[in-house]
Amino acid sequence: MPMVWSNSFSIGVEAIDKQHQELFKRTNQLLEACQQGRGKEAVSKTLTFLEDYVNTHFSYEESLMQKYAYPEFTAHQNLHREFTQSLLKLKQEAQNNIGLSLVTQVNKFVVDWWINHITKVDKKLGAFLSEKMK
Protein backbone atom coordinates (compact mmCIF):
# COMPACT_ATOMS: atom_id res chain seq x y z
CA MET A 1 0.00 0.00 0.00
CA PRO A 2 1.45 3.38 -0.90
CA MET A 3 1.87 5.90 1.86
CA VAL A 4 -0.69 8.67 1.58
CA TRP A 5 -0.06 11.96 3.30
CA SER A 6 -2.82 13.46 5.37
CA ASN A 7 -2.98 16.21 7.95
CA SER A 8 -2.98 13.65 10.70
CA PHE A 9 0.74 13.25 10.00
CA SER A 10 1.47 16.92 10.53
CA ILE A 11 3.69 17.54 13.55
CA GLY A 12 3.19 21.30 13.50
CA VAL A 13 6.61 22.25 12.16
CA GLU A 14 6.32 23.08 8.49
CA ALA A 15 9.89 22.33 7.42
CA ILE A 16 9.71 18.88 9.01
CA ASP A 17 6.26 18.15 7.54
CA LYS A 18 7.63 18.94 4.10
CA GLN A 19 10.54 16.59 4.60
CA HIS A 20 8.18 13.86 5.77
CA GLN A 21 6.16 14.30 2.59
CA GLU A 22 9.30 13.85 0.53
CA LEU A 23 10.08 10.72 2.54
CA PHE A 24 6.61 9.36 1.76
CA LYS A 25 7.29 9.94 -1.94
CA ARG A 26 10.62 8.20 -1.87
CA THR A 27 9.26 5.30 0.15
CA ASN A 28 6.46 4.90 -2.40
CA GLN A 29 8.99 4.78 -5.21
CA LEU A 30 10.78 1.99 -3.42
CA LEU A 31 7.51 0.11 -2.89
CA GLU A 32 6.62 0.48 -6.52
CA ALA A 33 9.99 -0.75 -7.70
CA CYS A 34 9.64 -3.84 -5.49
CA GLN A 35 6.03 -4.53 -6.43
CA GLN A 36 6.59 -4.19 -10.12
CA GLY A 37 9.30 -6.76 -9.85
CA ARG A 38 11.94 -4.47 -11.24
CA GLY A 39 15.51 -5.65 -11.18
CA LYS A 40 18.01 -5.47 -8.38
CA GLU A 41 19.59 -2.37 -9.76
CA ALA A 42 16.36 -0.42 -9.96
CA VAL A 43 15.37 -1.43 -6.44
CA SER A 44 18.73 -0.57 -4.95
CA LYS A 45 18.64 2.77 -6.74
CA THR A 46 15.37 3.66 -5.00
CA LEU A 47 16.80 2.43 -1.72
CA THR A 48 19.82 4.69 -2.06
CA PHE A 49 17.57 7.57 -3.09
CA LEU A 50 15.53 7.03 0.08
CA GLU A 51 18.61 6.56 2.24
CA ASP A 52 20.09 9.88 1.09
CA TYR A 53 17.05 11.80 2.11
CA VAL A 54 16.66 9.87 5.36
CA ASN A 55 20.15 11.02 6.35
CA THR A 56 19.38 14.62 5.46
CA HIS A 57 16.13 14.49 7.37
CA PHE A 58 17.49 12.84 10.51
CA SER A 59 20.37 15.31 10.64
CA TYR A 60 17.92 18.16 10.35
CA GLU A 61 15.72 16.94 13.20
CA GLU A 62 18.75 16.19 15.33
CA SER A 63 20.25 19.63 14.76
CA LEU A 64 16.99 21.24 15.92
CA MET A 65 16.88 18.98 18.97
CA GLN A 66 20.39 20.05 19.87
CA LYS A 67 19.77 23.69 19.15
CA TYR A 68 16.79 23.77 21.51
CA ALA A 69 18.22 21.30 24.05
CA TYR A 70 15.47 18.75 23.58
CA PRO A 71 15.43 16.54 26.69
CA GLU A 72 14.70 13.37 24.72
CA PHE A 73 17.42 13.91 22.17
CA THR A 74 19.41 10.74 22.85
CA ALA A 75 16.42 8.39 22.78
CA HIS A 76 15.15 9.98 19.59
CA GLN A 77 18.55 9.82 17.95
CA ASN A 78 18.86 6.14 18.87
CA LEU A 79 15.60 5.43 17.06
CA HIS A 80 16.96 7.17 13.99
CA ARG A 81 20.11 5.07 14.20
CA GLU A 82 18.13 1.86 14.46
CA PHE A 83 16.19 2.78 11.37
CA THR A 84 19.36 3.57 9.45
CA GLN A 85 20.58 0.09 10.39
CA SER A 86 17.35 -1.50 9.16
CA LEU A 87 17.75 0.27 5.85
CA LEU A 88 21.25 -1.10 5.50
CA LYS A 89 19.97 -4.61 6.15
CA LEU A 90 17.25 -4.10 3.61
CA LYS A 91 19.82 -3.04 1.07
CA GLN A 92 21.73 -6.26 1.62
CA GLU A 93 18.50 -8.22 1.43
CA ALA A 94 17.65 -6.55 -1.87
CA GLN A 95 20.88 -7.87 -3.31
CA ASN A 96 19.80 -11.46 -2.72
CA ASN A 97 16.14 -11.52 -3.06
CA ILE A 98 13.65 -9.27 -4.71
CA GLY A 99 10.07 -10.26 -4.65
CA LEU A 100 7.16 -10.63 -2.36
CA SER A 101 9.23 -10.99 0.78
CA LEU A 102 11.05 -7.74 0.05
CA VAL A 103 7.75 -5.94 -0.40
CA THR A 104 6.61 -7.38 2.93
CA GLN A 105 9.80 -6.23 4.59
CA VAL A 106 9.59 -2.74 3.14
CA ASN A 107 6.05 -2.50 4.45
CA LYS A 108 7.05 -3.76 7.84
CA PHE A 109 10.36 -2.02 8.38
CA VAL A 110 9.89 1.18 6.41
CA VAL A 111 6.19 2.04 6.05
CA ASP A 112 5.16 0.90 9.54
CA TRP A 113 8.22 2.53 11.04
CA TRP A 114 7.47 5.91 9.46
CA ILE A 115 3.88 5.89 10.52
CA ASN A 116 4.74 4.92 14.06
CA HIS A 117 7.73 7.27 14.35
CA ILE A 118 6.01 10.30 12.88
CA THR A 119 2.75 9.95 14.76
CA LYS A 120 4.40 9.27 18.11
CA VAL A 121 8.04 10.31 18.38
CA ASP A 122 8.16 13.18 15.88
CA LYS A 123 4.84 14.57 17.07
CA LYS A 124 6.24 14.83 20.55
CA LEU A 125 9.24 16.66 19.15
CA GLY A 126 6.94 18.85 17.07
CA ALA A 127 4.98 19.92 20.14
CA PHE A 128 8.23 20.83 21.89
CA LEU A 129 9.65 22.72 18.92
CA SER A 130 6.43 24.61 18.21
CA GLU A 131 6.68 26.08 21.69
CA LYS A 132 10.35 26.97 21.34
CA MET A 133 10.19 28.33 17.81
CA LYS A 134 7.27 30.69 18.44
Please state the closest distance from residue 32 (CB atom) to Fe ion, in A: 22
Q: Which stretch binds Fe ion (CB under 5 A): 36-44, 66-74, 87-95, 122-130?
A: 122-130
Please state the closest distance from residue 110 (CB atom) to Fe ion, in A: 13
Can you say whether residue 6 is alpha, beta or left, with left for phi > 0 and alpha for psi between -120 and 50 degrees? beta
Q: Does 3 bind Fe ion (CB under 5 A)?
A: no
Task: Closer to Fe ion by CB, 62 or 93: give it.
Answer: 62
Q: Which amino acid is at 107?
A: N
Q: Does 51 bind Fe ion (CB under 5 A)?
A: no
Are the C-beta atoms of residues 76 and 117 closer than 8 Å to each other?
no
Side-chain-side CA neighbours of residue 45 (13 Å) = 8
The residues that touch Fe ion, with contacts defined as CB under 5 A, are 61, 122
